[in-house]
Amino acid sequence: MRLFNPYHAFFLALPPSVRRDPATTPTAAELLSPDWLAFKAAVAGHFAWAVPTDEAIAAIRRHAPSVVEIGAGGGYWAWLLRQAGVTVAAFDVAPPPFTWSEVRVGDAAAAGDHADKALFLCWPPWGAGMATRALAAHGGRQVIYVGEWLGGAADPAFFAALAAQFTCVEVVAIPQWFMRDDRLMVFERR
């Protein structure tokens, strides 16, 4: 499966210094560079916080023919998933004026209307409780999470609920920005 994925092409065209060096442990060093953080926020605002790959989209498709995405932003991941034939219900509390694909207005509670679909969360906001509320509302059997494990995204209660109720069945490496250590993880309810 070959997807049209301009974000991945853009990321690969950037200088290697923007990518994570796997030999270096992520730290808070990026916080010392407001210009770097502003650049990443601008890129994320146009595309997404995580850089999807064909392999990541294929993994989602293998596990879930349909997903509900909460916190979809501009719908970039939803757009790629739809290219791959996955049915997507994408929601965000405030979709931006430009979206890559349909994103409806909705918060974490919208996940409760789609328990038959896998819950998809890509870099849910840190400490805001959104991921925990979406997981509780959803109640379904699959969760697909993109972000760092136990940091940077979501909140401790989300990770505790995942660890207590779910088993990770697949992890897919994705391109990583400087000082980030994110990946795609597929969970099945025990």
Name the DSSP class of 125.
Answer: P
49 belongs to a structural domain: yes
The domain spanning residue 111 has which CATH number?
Answer: 3.40.50.150
142 belongs to a structural domain: yes
Q: Give residue-wise pLDDT tens across range 77-122.
A: 999 999 999 999 999 999 999 999 999 999 999 999 999 999 999 9
Q: What is the largest CA-CA distance in the chain?
A: 43
Q: Give residue-wise pLDDT tens across range 38-84.
A: 999 999 999 999 999 999 999 999 999 999 999 999 999 999 999 99
Give the residue among 187, 188, 180 at the shortest CA–CA distance from 50: 180
64 belongs to a structural domain: yes
1 belongs to a structural domain: no
- Number of domains forming the structure of the chain: 1
23 belongs to a structural domain: no
- The SS3 of residue 28 is coil
Beta bridge partners of 91: 70, 104
pTM reported for the whole predicted model: 0.96
Name the DSSP class of 92.
Answer: E
95 belongs to a structural domain: yes
Contact by Cβ (8 Å): 184, 172: yes
Domain that includes residue 165, residue range: 6-11+28-189
The answer on pLDDT for 31 being more than 90 is no
Residue 17: what residue type? S
Give the residue among 20, 75, 80 at the shortest CA–CA distance from 56: 80
Contact by Cβ (8 Å): 142, 114: no
- The SS3 of residue 180 is coil
The answer on pLDDT for 1 being more than 90 is no
Name the DSSP class of 90.
Answer: E
Burial zone of 112 (CB within 10 Å; 0-12 exposed, 13-18 middle, 19+ buried): middle
